[in-house]
């Protein structure tokens, strides 16, 4: 989805350990997305939304018949797809079954990263070029290890600025604590993130028009419900399909992920967004926790060239300053946001935006400037068609 990744590969593996091995081996080439447990329909749907041309399918003696049938079914539906089988390299029967089913090659679990990457490079040269959908909406993610209401406060304002620029915008609030964006705006919702995952195949303009909560400026909001499953229990495949569906209906999506623990689902958001705003303040303890996650991701080979540092509650006379933080995180600082405790507290307690309460405050001006910068990344995208439900109501 984002331009920082050259390719997307799909994989059906025995367990998360095998998936991580494959992700590490192919990190220099792109992102490996888990295709779930082996459903042909789910695999084909993921191929359609990821534009993947290469799929890894794990084989084992107990399920080799079903796994071979999956390979045959995928190739029947997508003849130009390249499938590489994974398995025990010492089991000749698995190798034969894979080749008979139509796999292009076979890779033994635990093979050296250079061998796997070399094989993928050779196969990629023989595959037809993939033209990703350039009309997908922009995707901005705010992430930091801190869990507080300020993540929701900031993303609510940034998303409103993008919406006011004339772009149809969605705020996807998956930050912790849950649902703070709705509370900050004095809104309620009967349709939440978990509902969207359950209705993936029905997620069209009509459902969005009728079910997604909307604030005064027209911004749509999709947030956690109290009983939704934790993000780490959501599969990368489900998230990929949800994001692809939403990006066809919105010109820009702003995602609040502050406070979320590290997980495959979180990494899916981070890897596929256009811009990652890494959220921190000058608190050294929180900085250390943020750096622990950041360094782990870099060690795993995740591409983070699209990330910028956003320093919140900034005090100029307190160390570490913005320049020191930028060096520590090895990221360019995109903005520093003023502390302004009274203004923040009033906005949270009164259910009003900073644009209404304190339009001339430094914090408000900084958020407006940053929001306008985000809006420029997707301003050239075509406006999605308005659903019939909105036309009946006379909405834009």
Q: Which domains does the chain have, with CATH numbers?
A: 7-126 (3.40.50.2300), 138-376 (3.40.50.300)
pLDDT per residue as tens digits for the range 291-335: 999 999 999 888 899 999 999 999 999 999 999 999 999 999 999
| 62-87 burial: b if 16+ Cβ within 10 Å, else e | eebeebbebbbebbeebeebbbbbbb
Can you tell me which residue has the tokens 């900084």? 366
Give the pLDDT score at 38: 80
Structure tokens at 160: 């409103």
- The number of CA neighbours under 13 Å toward the Cβ of 143 is 27
Whether 371 has a pLDDT exceeding 70, the answer reads: yes
Distance CA 273, CA 253 (A): 9
Structure tokens at 54: 């290469």
61: helix, coil or strand?
helix
Whether 134 has a pLDDT exceeding 90, the answer reads: no
pTM: 0.88
pLDDT per residue as tens digits for the range 103-119: 999 999 989 999 999 99
Q: How far is CA 330 from CA 188, 298, 314, in A?
A: 40, 11, 18
Q: Going by DSSP bridges, is the β-strand pair 333-338/275-280 parallel, antiparallel, or unpaired?
A: unpaired
| Mean pLDDT of the region 4-8 | 64
**DSSP code for 226:** T
């Amino acid at each position: 989805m984002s331009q920082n990744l050259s390719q997307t590969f799909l994989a059906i593996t025995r367990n998360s350990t095998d998936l991580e091995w494959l992700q590490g081996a192919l990190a220099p080439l792109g992102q490996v997305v888990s295709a779930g447990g082996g459903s042909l329909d789910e695999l084909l749907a993921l191929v359609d939304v990821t534009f993947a041309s290469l799929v890894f399918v794990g084989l084992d003696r107990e399920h080799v018949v079903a796994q071979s049938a999956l390979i045959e079914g995928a190739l029947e539906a997508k003849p130009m797809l390249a499938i590489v089988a994974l398995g025990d390299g010492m089991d000749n029967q698995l190798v034969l079954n894979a080749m008979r089913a139509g796999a292009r090659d076979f890779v033994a679990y635990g093979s050296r990263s250079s061998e796997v990457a070399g094989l993928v490079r050779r196969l990629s040269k023989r595959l037809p070029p993939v033209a990703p959908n350039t009309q997908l909406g922009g995707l901005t993610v705010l992430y930091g290890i801190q869990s507080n209401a300020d993540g929701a406060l900031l993303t609510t304002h940034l998303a409103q600025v993008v919406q006011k620029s004339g772009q149809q915008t969605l705020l996807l609030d998956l930050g912790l604590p849950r649902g703070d964006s709705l509370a900050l705006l004095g809104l309620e919702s009967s349709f939440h993130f978990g509902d969207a995952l359950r209705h993936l195949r029905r997620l069209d303009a009509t459902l969005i028009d009728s079910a997604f909560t909307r604030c005064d400026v027209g911004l749509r909001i999709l947030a956690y419900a109290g009983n939704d499953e934790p993000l780490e229990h959501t599969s990368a495949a489900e998230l990929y399909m949800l994001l692809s569906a939403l990006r066809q209906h919105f010109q820009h999506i702003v995602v609040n992920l502050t406070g979320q623990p590290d997980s495959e689902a979180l990494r899916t958001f981070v890897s596929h967004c256009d811009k990652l705003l890494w959220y921190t303040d000058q608190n050294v303890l929180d900085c250390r926790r943020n750096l622990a996650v950041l360094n782990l991701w870099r060690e795993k080979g995740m591409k983070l060239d699209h990330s910028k540092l956003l320093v919140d509650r900034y005090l100029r006379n307190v160390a570490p300053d913005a320049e020191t933080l930028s060096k520590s995180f090895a990221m360019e600082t995109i903005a520093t946001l003023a502390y302004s405790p009274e203004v923040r507290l009033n906005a949270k307690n009164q259910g009003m935006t900073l644009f209404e309460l304190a339009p001339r405050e430094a914090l408000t001006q900084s958020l407006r400037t940053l929001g306008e910068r985000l809006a420029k990344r997707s301003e050239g995208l075509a406006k999605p068609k308005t659903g019939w439900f909105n036309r009946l109501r006379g909405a834009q």
